[in-house]
Amino acid sequence: MLKPLHHYVCDTCSDIIQTPEEGWLEWKDGADKNGMRFAHSFRFCHVAGASQRRKVCQTHYRDADVSDSYLSEILPRSPAFIFSFLGVGHLHEPELHRQRVVDMRAFLDVARRLTIPHYEEARQFWADAEHDGMFEGRHEYSTYAPDFLISIIERYGPYGGGPGPKVVPVSGEVLVFAERLISLFANHDSARAAPSHLVKDVKVLGEEIFGKLGDKGMRDVFDAAEASLTESARNLIDRTWSGTGYWIA
Ligand SMILES: [Zn+2]
């Protein structure tokens, strides 16, 4: 599962943006002939060089009316960022009171991505959930409640048999470690508790991964392995990994 309000899915290459420092939010902040500003075309994407697939995921940077910022700059200030588009206040607009966004529905999607835990991952499966009637009978706000969003992710994400968000290993080394981790769990798929010898084996592998790839490598190995495992195996791997002391929250 993606780490909420930390991992994002790139609107250009569809791969995971691994850290807010590798993430970029861009939009267009134009003005009409009367000087009235309006914002639109918001996009979450990788900063240049952070994608495994493309050199550049930003698309607005050549435009004169582009505005943009690192996700790491925006996320700690999300409410202030969002409200500034709904009305900048009398300090900046003494005479006017109006919103700056052109398409409120699209902007609410941006606001939810920035503030609601698990929305970023659940929105990948919105059409499937809608098709299957998961939203029927839900309150207007409970549609976006994190616990309900988790149920969508569990049903349609990598553990529900669906395609899930793409998890991109950082290198071939990560894949090799991930395959070894999967093979360790292959015979323990339905176990209820993590057997001690499994903890020992995982700990040995963990030390090897950590020694070679460090913190980020550990996380990438786990993510890569997780995408191939069933839910019961995922629960087992979670507990076992915790038992080794290597689990990165
Ligand atoms: Zn990208």
pLDDT digits (tens, 9 = 90+) for 41-75: 999 999 999 988 888 899 998 888 899 999 999 99
Residue 1 lies in a domain: no
Give distance in angstroms: CA of 96 to centre of ligand 1: 37
Confidence of residue 143 (pLDDT cuts 50, 70, 90): very high
Same domain, 98 and 138: no
238 and 141 in a common domain: yes
Distance 51 CA to ligand 1 centre (A): 5
Residues 233 and 159 in one domain: yes
**28 alpha carbon – ligand 1 mean position (Å):** 18
Residues 18 and 86 reside in one and the same domain: yes
Residue 174 lies in a domain: yes
What is the distance in A from the centroid of ligand 1 to the CA of 230? 27
- Whether residue 233 is predicted with pLDDT greater than 70 in this model: the reply is no
For residues 5 and 43, the answer to whether their CB atoms sit within 8 Å is: no
Distance 45 CA to ligand 1 centre (A): 5
Question: pTM here?
Answer: 0.64
Find the 26 Cα to ligand 1 centroid distance in Å: 13
Q: What pLDDT does 166 receive?
A: 46
Q: Are residues 133 and 239 in the same domain?
A: yes
Residue 157 in domain: yes
Tokens of 201: 């084996």
For the chain, what is the domain count?
2
150 with 227, same domain: the answer is yes
CA of 249 to the centre of ligand 1 (A): 24
Q: Supply the pLDDT for residue 185.
A: 75
pLDDT of residue 68: 96
* Assigned domain for 76 exists: yes
Cα gap 217→1, rounded to integer Å:
17
Residue that terminates a domain, selected from 102, 118, 137? 102
SS3 category, 153 = helix
141 and 97 assigned to the same domain: no
Residue 73: which domain range?
8-102
Rounded to the nearest whole angstrom, what is the distance from the C-alpha of residue 76 to the centroid of ligand 1?
22
- Say how many Å lie between the CA of residue 234 and the centre of ligand 1: 27
Number of Cβ within a 10 Å radius of residue 189: 13
Q: How far is the CA of 205 from the centre of ligand 1 (A)?
A: 31
Q: Residue 199 and residue 31: Cα distance in Å, rounded? A: 60
Mind listing the pLDDT tens digit for each residue in 146-205?
999 999 998 888 665 555 544 444 467 777 887 788 777 766 654 555 667 777 888 888
Q: What is the pLDDT of residue 190?
A: 45
Q: Are residue 146 and residue 78 in the same domain, yes or no?
A: no
133, part of any domain: yes
pLDDT digits (tens, 9 = 90+) for 66-125: 999 999 999 999 999 999 998 877 787 777 667 788 899 999 999 999 999 999 999 999
Tell me, yes or no, whether 113 lies in a domain.
Answer: no
Of 215 and 204, the structure prediction assigns the larger pLDDT to 204
